Amino acid sequence: MAFTSNILSKFIIVPQQPLALNQVYFFTATILHWKHLLISNKYKKIIIDSLRFLVEKKKIAVYAFVIMPNHIHLIWEMLEKNGKELPYASFMKFTAHKFQEDLKMNNPNFLSHFIAKEADRKYQFWQRNSLPVHLYSIEVVEQKLDYIHYNPVNGHWALANDYVDYFYSSAMFYEENKDEFGFLTHYKERF
């Protein structure tokens, strides 16, 4: 059954599969047209702040993440609805609104790359095909955890020499027991 809602706002992106409460997912969200919007630390901070807020409100648990120049990967769990919607929808809407707000003020030319084709919104920042994958075992969690943490040093990215050195990731949390972001939960507390 696909997730549908009459309350879809101009910023929400509906995943291909529904996310369920109290299930752990590997989640990928990509910036529209693979634009490198997230190369700027101020946009990474918007993502971090939104995740922290939802964790503090006990709406989500974040077990791992990485913020890449044009996409994010998360291992997370929806704990309870945020009002009438699941927290991922709140996350996607809030971050998109903040991106728009900043670009409108500081870089209107770049904002034009995100003009929506749909009539129900003016701008779209996240591609509509956000991908949640249910993580059903510790082995699958660990495989996705490695994928997330090695993403910044794999292929053409070369965002750091060592995956632990890439700041916008949970790698340091797992390798050096440092939570620079204040919202991470170790996956072994869940599995």
* Dihedral over Cα of 83, 133, 66, 92: its sign: negative
- What proportions of the chain, in percent to the nearest 5, are helix, strand and coil? 40, 20, 40
User: pLDDT tens, 109-118?
Assistant: 999 999 998 8
User: pLDDT tens, 70-90?
Assistant: 999 999 999 999 999 999 999
Question: Would you state the torsion angle of the CA atoms of residues 159, 37, 65, 117, taken in this order, to the nearest 10 degrees?
Answer: -140
Block residue for tokens 């769990």: 77
Separation between Cα atoms, residue 123 and residue 115, nearest integer Å: 4
| Among 44-58, 97-111, 129-143, 174-188, the least confident range | 129-143
Question: Does 9 have pLDDT greater than 90?
Answer: no
- DSSP 8-state class, residue 31: B
**Where residue 10 falls among pLDDT bands split at 50, 70, 90?**
very low
pLDDT at residue 110, as a whole number: 96
Separation between Cα atoms, residue 124 and residue 151, nearest integer Å: 25
User: Torsions phi, psi of 147, nearest 5?
Assistant: -60, -50
pLDDT at residue 12, as a whole number: 41
Is the model's pTM score more than 0.75?
yes
The radius of gyration computed from the CA coordinates of the chain, to the nearest angstrom, equals 16
Domains of the chain in sequence order: 24-189 (3.30.70.1290)
